[in-house]
Structures are given as C-alpha cells and as structure tokens.
Amino acid sequence: MAIGISETATSEEAHAQVEAIRSVLRRSLSPTDLQIDHLGVEADGAIVIAGQAANLATKKRALRLAAFTSGALGIVDRLHVRPAVPMDDRQIAIQLTERFALDPRFKDVGIFEDRDPSPLTENRVAVAGASPDALGRLTIEVVDGVVVLDGTVPSLVRKRLAGAIAWRIPGVRDVINGLAVEPPETDGPDELEEAIREVLDGHPLFDDTQVKAGVYADIVRLTGLVHSEEARQAAEDEVWRVLGVDEVINKIETTA
C-alpha cells in the first residue's frame, strides 16, 4: 500500500490524517481487496484516495472509513473497482444502452450515447425513447471502463436505478452519476428504500418479496429468507450498487 502526502499539504496535521487513515484501512480491509496508489490531503482539507478495489463493497467501505477517520469535509474519490470481466468501452456501452432501452422503467426517458471521449466535444446518438414528450434525457459515456451518466430523470428512484443498472455490467470500473432530478425531490430514508425495492425487483435468483431492507441514514440492514447462499450474496450485491448506500448489514437467512 503506497501512501504519501499530497504536495499541496505537508503540515503535521495532514501527515497525521494520512497515517490515521492508512492504519484504519490496513486493519479493516485486506491488501488483496484494496490497493491504494495514492492517499493525500489537498490544500482545502479534502482527502484524496486513489487505487483499485476488489469490488464495490470494498470501495465504499474504504471511502467511508477514510471520511470517518479523517473528519475531512470532502473526499476526492479516485478508487476504481477491479472489473469482474475484461471489457472494452464499446462492449460496455452496447450492453448498457440495450439494458436501458429494454427496461420499461425508462420507456419515458430519452436514452442517448456520447461516442466521443473528448470532454470538449460530443457525438450524441439517440438509442431509445427520444420523443418530444419524453420526461427525461439520459446520456451515457464510457471512458476507460468508467461510465458517466448525465442528463435528467423524473425521480430520485430513477436516478439511483440508472446507476445500479450501470454497475451491473461486469466490465465497469466506476460509475459517475451526474443525473439531475427534474422536478427536484427531497431525499431521505423512504426514497432510498424505494430505490432499493426497485433494484431488487425481478432478480432471477430470488423473489424480492423474500428480502426486506431497513434503512438508517446510509446504512441498509437486509433480512429475509432465500433458497441459497448465492441468492443471499446477490441481494447484498444489488443493494451496494444503489447510490447513497455506504454500508450493508446482511442478515438474510438461507434454506439450504
């Protein structure tokens, strides 16, 4: 684990923050699951963490630990997830656009793909639902395994569902969910729980009515009964994919 202090902050306080975070990450997460390439403190006090995590759960836990340990006002997240299956950007984009196009929950949202990786130009291609009366406009861009979602959707649930769908593609290294909700909605535990129910709905390994999710702030506690350990883990994996979930306590039981 290579950890150093950012050039913009070399004070004793910054050094102490970095050492404290390093110690907590080493105690809490296996080095085979988390590879830190850089950990530093910016001039404005934000913590920068860059590297690679074995999965999304590890990534989120590392960020949560860094935030709690440092007490910093912000975290600059440059942690990427190790892809489960190697895929190029075009493969990811094709799979993702197909999933959005086929999902009835996005039938009233225009789906577009930006095929130009340059941040200064766009090559936006309509994929589905690009009618004048569409209730939203979702643009997908994939660069080096990182999916960027931009545009507008009509609800917080749809925003969270879009991010979870992107995380399901096995070659994805990260998801940047920049979708705006129009009209704006107030967020809270009820909205997060509703999004979790949507993400769990229709899973091939379990009936979503078998799984119950209790939400407290950014922590989700799962209970219920499913037929196998594979289904139990699948339910947890789905919940980790939801924006706003930073910890999952899996108390689901199995019949096997």
Decide which of 181, 210, 229 is a domain's last residue: 181
Decide which of 62, 81, 100 is a domain's last residue: 81
User: According to the model, what pLDDT value does residue 6 have?
Assistant: 41
Question: Do residues 75 and 39 lie in contact, with contact meaning Cβ atoms separated by under 8 Å?
Answer: no
The predicted-structure confidence for 162-202, as pLDDT tens digits, reads as follows 999 999 999 999 999 999 999 999 999 999 999 999 999 99
Range of the domain at 63: 12-81
Q: How many domains does the chain have?
A: 3
The predicted-structure confidence for 24-80, as pLDDT tens digits, reads as follows 999 999 999 999 999 998 888 889 999 999 999 999 999 999 999 887 778 999 999
**Total Cβ atoms within 10 A of residue 255:** 8
Whether residue 242 is found in the same domain as residue 205: yes
Whether residue 64 is found in the same domain as residue 104: no
Whether residue 175 is found in the same domain as residue 195: no
Number of helices (H) and strands (E) in the chain: give both, helices first.
Answer: 6, 13
- Angle (CA) 175-74-71 rounded to 5° is 130
The least confident of 3-17, 35-49, 205-219 is: 3-17
> Looking at the predicted structure, is the pLDDT value of residue 4 above 80?
no
- DSSP string of 183-220, one letter each residue: S-----HHHHHHHHHHHHTT-TTS-GGGEEEEEETTEE
- pTM tops 0.85: yes
Average per-residue pLDDT in the chain?
Answer: 91
Question: Do residues 218 and 244 lie in contact, with contact meaning Cβ atoms separated by under 8 Å?
Answer: yes
User: According to the model, what pLDDT value does residue 127 have?
Assistant: 85
User: According to the model, what pLDDT value does residue 187 have?
Assistant: 96
User: According to the model, what pLDDT value does residue 5 have?
Assistant: 40
* Better-predicted residue by pLDDT, 2 or 149: 149
CATH number of the domain enclosing 235: 3.30.300.130
Decide which of 125, 147, 181 is a domain's last residue: 181
